[in-house]
């Protein structure tokens, strides 16, 4: 496509295809210290570094390691949750109630979905080792629930004092009565 010479040069360059670059980039020199030629050592390493597929034992080891990471994930959230609970205060406000709700919701979901979380890591060879991983996961979620119970107690929502149960107390009958009399 030929362009009219009256157009600016950038328009002509835009509509004309770029010149094909030469295969040998000999016009551009390598930076100092870099050699584009593949040396004998590098070629040997490149051939040597072809990766073989992992053995089933290696795959099982990796699955166990990953399952331990998943098991300790609730414990990694505990410091953040504790700081957030401390900073939200003990008064009943929307923010603190939402925080406490999330603090109960996430561990309860984790406890209910324990087997589903670890199904992708279970194989017949790793099944015997997974009970310890699941036990740690359940323990970490219970610790997170304990943090929620601590916060609810701090907010005064747990009935832990005698005055919280006054509705079920029977009225005491006095042993003696004192009557004031003028004389």
pLDDT at 164: 84
The answer to whether residues 81 and 103 touch, using CB atoms and an 8 Å cutoff, is: yes
* Digitized pLDDT (tens) for each residue of the chain, 183 residues in all: 566 778 888 888 888 877 766 656 566 777 888 776 666 666 666 666 677 888 888 999 999 999 999 999 999 999 999 999 899 888 888 988 998 999 999 999 999 999 999 999 998 888 888 999 999 999 999 999 999 999 999 988 888 888 888 888 888 888 888 888 876
pLDDT at 37: 64
Q: Name the burial class of residue 1, with classes exposed (0-12), middle (13-18) and buried (19+) by CB atoms within 10 angstroms of its CB.
A: exposed
pLDDT at 47: 65
Instruction: Show Cβ contacts of residue 85 under 8 Å, excluding neighbours closer than 6 positions.
Output: 99, 100, 103, 147, 150, 151
Whole-model pTM: value is: 0.64
């Amino acid at each position: 496509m030929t362009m009219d010479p009256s157009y600016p040069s950038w328009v002509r360059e835009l509509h004309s295809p770029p010149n094909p670059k030469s295969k040998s980039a000999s016009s551009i020199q390598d930076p100092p210290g870099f050699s584009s030629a593949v040396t004998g050592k590098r070629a040997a390493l490149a051939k040597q570094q072809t990766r073989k597929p992992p053995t089933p034992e290696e795959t099982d080891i990796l699955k166990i390691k990953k399952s331990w990471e998943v098991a300790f994930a609730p414990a990694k959230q505990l410091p953040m949750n504790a700081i957030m609970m401390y900073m939200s205060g003990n008064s009943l406000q929307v923010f603190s109630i939402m925080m406490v709700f999330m603090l109960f919701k996430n561990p309860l979901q984790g406890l209910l979905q324990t087997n589903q979380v670890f199904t992708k890591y279970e194989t017949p060879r790793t099944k015997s080792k997974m009970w310890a991983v699941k036990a740690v996961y359940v323990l970490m979620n219970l610790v997170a629930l304990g943090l929620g119970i601590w916060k609810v107690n701090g907010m005064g929502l747990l009935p832990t004092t005698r005055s919280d149960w006054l509705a079920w107390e029977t009225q005491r009958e006095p042993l003696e009565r004192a009557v004031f009399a003028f004389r």
